[in-house]
Structure 1
Amino acid sequence: MRHQLFLFDLDDTLLDFRASEQLSFVQTMSALGYDGAIEPVFQDYQAINVALWRSFERGLVDKDFLKVERFRQTFAIHALALDPSAASKLYLDALPETVVLVEGALEVCAALSVHGEIGIITNGVEHIQQRRIASSGLGAFLSFVATSEACGHAKPDVRIFDYAAGMARAFVPEATIIVGDRLDADILGANRFGIDSCWFNPGGAPNGSEARPTFEVARLHDLLPVLAQ
């Protein structure tokens, strides 16, 4: 196998963040005493959350603002007299306890750990991502976790890729690959940093962006034969 350093995005690549997000949101709203229809509130929260993360990746907002603002905007839309700061704390406490693995994540990481070093590179909150990894069982196969919070820069900024490379035991650009679900963060960042990439695209979405993945897979299990070629 040509690659020796395998960088993985975490959310929606190894961990099913959408499933975890919904479970955590439901728990949060229940703890706040909300007993109304949850789905329309959750849908608005998701849209607001995605928009705020995109703003964070462009350096327009900071993470502490994002964590509370997503709930403030959601509650305002639905005229809910709930505390967004309390909601943020409850949600972040619940998130590490609602981990759902993407199919094949453990098996693929176990197999690749035999061939080289595995690291995580994620635009996430440091202590939350560390706790989620610990709950997932993936930690046994990982050498390091590089988060945007610890680095100070978010994907696709090449500085977080450089930060992750510095955490590795050995970094050789032509022997390094990142696997991720987002063209605008994982794949574009890899293009700019000069390493290979694999787009994890389970939904078969078209690529209308400037990002150019080296490989593309629809299932994590497909990654092993692709990299073995």
Structure 2
Amino acid sequence: MITLPILFEDGEALVIDKPAGLPIDRPRSGGTSLENYLDALRLGFQRLPLAVHRLDQDTSGCLLLARNAKAHKRFAAAFEARQVEKVYLGVVAGPVAEDEGTIALNLSKISSAEKGWRMIPARAGKPAVTHWRVVERRDGLTLVEFHPETGRTHQIRVHALAGLGAALLGDPVYGGGPVADAPARRTMLHAAALTVPREGKPPIVAAAPFPADFAALGFSCLPTT
């Protein structure tokens, strides 16, 4: 197994740089998941750390872990109250005309025998808000910085398609084709930075390095936090 880089560490929290391809939960078919690394991530503490939020298997970058149940509860409440600042980078598989904006589209889960489950914009869905700005344009692709206010499942992936007019590069669900047909080996989404406020303590602040597969597409810009 590879070593997971640690971006932030103190007595109640860890932020790791999760690699693309590593699932948070163990797949039903078996295989490596975050669970395989938890014992090594104890770093001398008695309890195994607990993931506070979710990142899709393909998504790389900042993942917050709590060292104990009380800290997990506080951090989860901060996410629920929209107090956590999150910055993502995504490569949109097409041109984006505007330079910045806000996407407010409610999201709902649907399922079919042909396509499985996915999220769609729907008036009756849960509110979802994403602020965005273009970082760089190159060869028909657009590097976009996303600041999600809410944390709905697949929020940025659906908002990219419905709000910006093109899916994230390599997205097999919302991009209209399998990853193998795209010039990318995964859905190109990266959790670039995370700031979690804490009462009576300095905030948790972490930033993940710019991914090599983003750079391989010719992009070089880093996010602002």
TM-score w.r.t. length of structure 2: 0.31
User: Which structure is richer in relative contact order (CA contacts within 8 A, separation 6 or more)?
Assistant: 1
TM-score w.r.t. length of structure 1: 0.31
Higher percent of residues as helix: 1
Higher percent of residues as strand: 2
